[in-house]
Amino acid sequence: MPERTVVVASRTGLHARPAKIFVQAAARLGVPVRIRAGDGRPVPANSILAVLSLGAVQGTEVTLDAEGPDAEAALASLAELLARDLDAEEGSGG
């Protein structure tokens, strides 16, 4: 199963808007993706409650894993998303 490790860049971590953006992106992929913080238990990346339960703050290293023919592309897309400060991007549009 392919994996990708990335550091959460959003200044609020995976909370509020960044978590919502990440979960929505994971749900759109059509590939089962899981995320875990550190050595924790993996949770579904398309579940807002599960992602929030990780308690991932800015600088937390998370690992994504996925299954299926498009797993690598899904992981690359989600890892790129987590590596950006989604709070700053959301705030600049208003």
pLDDT tier for residue 71 given thresholds of 50, 70 and 90: very high
pTM of the model: 0.91
Please tell me the predicted confidence (pLDDT) of residue 88.
83
Collapse the DSSP code of 4 into the 3-class scheme (helix H, G, I; strand E, B; otherwise coil) and give the result. strand
Q: How far is CA 19 from the centre of its chain?
A: 7
Active site residues: 15
**If one looks up domain 3-91 in CATH, what number appears?**
3.30.1340.10
Which distant-in-sequence residues (6+ apart) come within 8 Å of 55 by Cβ?
A: 13, 37
Average pLDDT, the chain: 93
